[in-house]
Amino acid sequence: MAVGALGFSLAACGGDSKAPAFVNHAAAPAATASPTAPPVPFEFAVTPADKKKDLPVSTEIGTSVKGGDVTSVTLTDKAGKAVKGALRDDRSSWVPSAPLKYDTDYTATVVATSASGQVETKKVSFSTRGKSGNDIGSGLYLFNGKTYGVAMPVVLEFNPGIPQKDRAAVQRRLFVTTDPPQPGVWSWVSSGTQAYYRGPDYWKAGTKISVRAALEGIPLSNGRFGDEDRKATAKIGEKFVMKVDNKTKKMQVFKSDKLVKTFPVSLGKPSTPSSSGTLIVMDKQEHTVFDTIAELGPVEGYRTDIDFAQRLTWGGEYIHSAPWSVDDQGVRNVSHGCVNLAPDNASWLFGQTKVGDPITIKGTERQLEPGNGWTAWNQTWSEYIKGSALPVPSSLTAAPASHATPTPTTTD
């Protein structure tokens, strides 16, 4: 969001340092002034309208100014207490830093200054509605103080899903900042039950990500309202990438783009294949139980104690320890869709990975389905940005550099 200025200098061709001169001064044309565009008329408007009632607690103070700029915005409640907030980057509105209070009167004072120095002040009063109780369910998969992998998207989940006609309004209330700055885009899965935020390439190691999903009280077309504001600030750790090839039945593990381990694996057998695509570690459990009897019945289902389990999909695909398939690992696929590792290898890997680390699996009989896990990276950038409900800046529409792992420089 930096604005740059270009400076120009003129130099004579051939290095001639003489100043230009007319041979016949009398014939020199008289200089004429360049026409100057008339100044833009000063226009200034504020929303909401004065005396407006029953507004949502997500209300922003709209600021429309032509031929000038907003100088200040002040919002106070009926007791005169100031509300914190800030202008959007495009200065189209002023956004309170937290939801407004329900059933409360507010007064906004907006000052704008024209290009010629004319100062104008507008004041509007409004009141918010009461809490409806008919809220959507939402969740933010990013937690304060946690460290995540370089492929960790910001993930928002909604139940029920956000209707298509509401997604642009909801997306305008989703704020992400990164330090160091890295651009990104929100993208929705077709059902509207999930929205992801990521950049054209993996996050840089050490990046700080701050998120605010400012959704409390936002009205939706299905008669529901946003349930609450959610905030989190997290950090991105060291780059850690896993790659699995069904052809070789091996996993390659990369740290900071250097190959550090290679493990034999067994993937899903043909009747229950593993998903090919770029998946993300979503959760880690050192000890758990896989129980599919209720889902598959007593004949096909099973109940098994599992160590070093790392979830990859909502459908139940994991990386995990599988001592029963050690002889098959690197040779044949025998799992129900998971990535099987020998116990020592699974233990080592579990101790290294973070939620948000990517694993790319290729060459299996099934492709990863959109929304089956955090599938934000299982699309090209051009495909991904089509899921945005708002226009994508032209600076972000070009294809990015690949996040593929370079040729290995070291081996285990």
- CATH number of residue 269's parent domain: 2.40.440.10
Q: Active-site residue among 25, 287, 338, 403?
A: 338
Backbone angles phi, psi at 384, to 5 degrees: -60, -45
Task: Report d(CA 94, CA 84) in Å as an integer.
Answer: 10
pLDDT tier for residue 300 given thresholds of 50, 70 and 90: low
pLDDT of residue 17: 38
**Cα–Cα separations (whole angstroms), residue 187 to 30, 155, 228, 313, 387:** 59, 10, 21, 19, 4
* Residue 189 falls inside a structural domain: yes
pLDDT of residue 304: 86
- Residues 288 and 334 both lie in one domain: yes
Residue 2, pLDDT above cutoff 60: no
* Residue 403 falls inside a structural domain: no
Q: Which residue has the higher pLDDT, 302 or 317?
A: 317
Most confident residue range from 7-16, 37-46, 314-323: 314-323
Would you give the DSSP letter of residue 301? -
- Residues 123 and 160 both lie in one domain: no
- Residues 370 and 255 both lie in one domain: yes
Q: Which residue shows structure tokens 């009989």?
A: 365
* Residue 64 falls inside a structural domain: yes
* Residue 251 falls inside a structural domain: yes
Q: Where are the alpha helices (DSSP H) in 307-368?
A: 343-352
Backbone angles phi, psi at 200, to 5 degrees: -65, -25
Q: Active-site residue among 287, 320, 336, 403?
A: 320
pLDDT of residue 26: 41
Percentage with pLDDT > 70 across the chain: 85
pLDDT of residue 133: 86
Cα-Cα end-to-end distance for the chain: 43
CB atoms within 10 A of CB 206: 12
pLDDT of residue 241: 98
- Residues 299 and 375 both lie in one domain: yes
pLDDT of residue 311: 97
Per DSSP, what are the bridge partners of residue 18? none
pLDDT of residue 299: 64
Residue 382, pLDDT above cutoff 70: yes
* Residue 402 falls inside a structural domain: no
- Residues 164 and 194 both lie in one domain: yes
pLDDT of residue 290: 84
pLDDT digits (tens, 9 = 90+) for 53-65: 999 999 999 999 9
- Residues 65 and 91 both lie in one domain: yes
Q: Residue 141 is part of a domain; what is its CATH number?
A: 2.60.40.3710
Q: Residue 119 is part of a domain; what is its CATH number?
A: 2.60.40.3780
Task: Name the residue range of residue 63's domain.
Answer: 43-128
Residue 351, pLDDT above cutoff 70: yes
- Residues 262 and 227 both lie in one domain: no
* Residue 410 falls inside a structural domain: no
Mean residue pLDDT across the chain? 89
* Residue 168 falls inside a structural domain: yes
pLDDT of residue 19: 36
Task: Report d(CA 126, CA 68) in Å as an integer.
Answer: 25
Domain boundary among 236, 256, 284: 236
Q: Range with the lowest mean pLDDT among 29-43, 87-101, 203-217, 234-248?
A: 29-43
pLDDT digits (tens, 9 = 90+) for 63-109: 999 999 999 999 999 999 999 999 999 999 999 999 999 999 999 99
Number of residues in the chain: 412
pTM of the model: 0.84
- Residues 142 and 120 both lie in one domain: no
Which two tokens mark 279? 């998946």
pLDDT of residue 406: 47
- Residues 169 and 257 both lie in one domain: no
- Residues 257 and 208 both lie in one domain: no
Please confirm, yes or no, whether 320 is among the known catalytic residues: yes
Which two tokens mark 120? 């104008």
Percentage with pLDDT > 90 across the chain: 82
* Residue 329 falls inside a structural domain: yes
- Residues 264 and 277 both lie in one domain: yes
pLDDT of residue 354: 98
Residue 9, pLDDT above cutoff 50: no
Number of domains making up the chain: 3
pLDDT digits (tens, 9 = 90+) for 108-126: 999 999 999 999 999 999 9
Q: Range with the lowest mean pLDDT among 12-26, 85-99, 265-279, 381-395?
A: 12-26
Q: Determine whether 109 is exposed, middle or buried from the number of CB atoms within 10 Å of its CB (0-12, 13-18, 19+).
A: middle
Task: Report d(CA 38, CA 131) in Å as an integer.
Answer: 49
Which two tokens mark 313? 């999909």
Do residues 117 and 81 lie in contact, with contact meaning Cβ atoms separated by under 8 Å? no
Domain boundary among 236, 258, 286: 236
Overall average pLDDT of the 324-347 stretch? 97
Domain boundary among 236, 260, 286: 236
- Residues 231 and 152 both lie in one domain: yes
Strands (E) located in 115-173? 119-128, 137-140, 147-148, 154-159
